[in-house]
Amino acid sequence: MGTVTMPEETLALVETTKGFLHPDEGDCLYRWAAYAAGAGPLLEVGTYCGKSTLWIGEAARQAGQVLFCVDHHRGSPEMMPGEDCHDPEVIGDDGHDTLPFLRRTLAAADLERNVIPVVASSELALTHWSTPVAFAFIDGAHDDAGVMLDCVGWSRWVIPGGVLAFHDFAIPGIAAAIRAAEGGEFVAVDQVKSLKVLIKAGPV
Ligand code: MG
């Protein structure tokens, strides 16, 4: 991999953006996104307020590439009131809504020309998807059925030599999805904290 560097201003934004990604995981995502960005569009599933989007989007911007961000922005079960990841600040007039946070993040980072928010569930987006991607980061649904759907559904859009990354890989359902991917065409190449990175067989 070549040497790539995140701008200081974007790193400052990473610190103030809500989310669940450790900076070391972000740096790993950024490096693998930069590695893949020359070969095609980038994708992430589970955007929330745009913390991971800053890292992957910056790699897209530097390569003159785009990043598709799939999220319905209505939150997942673990973000509902009383659950571990609940944040009352993301509750708007019509309920849970992180899209305004994402928009502010993209504008602040000057990423609006390189990031395409897809405001839909992963399942709906997959049903109508038709674009091969060079990089996919999966951090959406964390329930067994949801993460397997994401793994099976999005991995088929990753081009040969492209990158597939998962967050929270120690969660049993996600570990099972990764094993399913590894049993197919994917090989694990990197791991930082709860982030796991795989590559699809073939030249990038
Ligand atoms: Mg996560």
pLDDT tens digits for 64-75?
A: 999 999 999 998
Instruction: Measure 172 CA to ligand 1 centroid, in angstroms.
Output: 14
The pLDDT tens digits for 27-67 are 999 999 999 999 999 999 999 999 999 999 999 999 999 99
Instruction: Give the distance (Å) from ligand 1 centre to CA of residue 168.
Output: 5
Report pLDDT for 181.
Answer: 84
Return the active site residues.
Answer: 142
Cα(157)–Cα(125) distance, integer angstroms: 12
DSSP the chain: -------HHHHHHHHHS--S--HHHHHHHHHHHHHHGGGS-EEEE--TTSHHHHHHHHHHHHHT--EEEE--SS--GGGSTTSTT--GGGEETTEE--HHHHHHHHHHTT-TTTEEEE-S-HHHHHHT----EEEEEE-S--SHHHHHHHHHHHHTTEEEEEEEEEESTTSHHHHHHHHHHHTTTEEEEEEETTEEEEEESS--
Torsional class of 54: left (φ above 0), alpha (ψ -120 to 50), beta (otherwise):
alpha
Which residues are close to ligand 1, an ion, with C-beta < 5 A?
20, 139, 167-168
Look at residue 203 and tell me whether its pLDDT is greater than 80.
Answer: no
pTM: 0.94
Tokens of 124: 């709906």
What's residue 2's pLDDT? 59
Cα dihedral sign for 108, 109, 113, 119? Answer: negative
Query: HSE on the CB side for 139, CA within 13 Å?
Result: 27
CA of 56 to the centre of ligand 1 (A): 15
pLDDT confidence bin for 1, thresholds 50/70/90 = low
Look at residue 94 in the predicted model and tell me its pLDDT: 85
Counting residues of the chain whose pLDDT is more than 70, the rounded percentage is: 98
| Ligand 1 centroid distance, CA of 185 (Å) | 24
Q: What was the pLDDT predicted at 48?
A: 95
Residue 13, pLDDT score: 97
- Please determine, for residue 101, whether its predicted confidence score (pLDDT) is greater than 80: yes
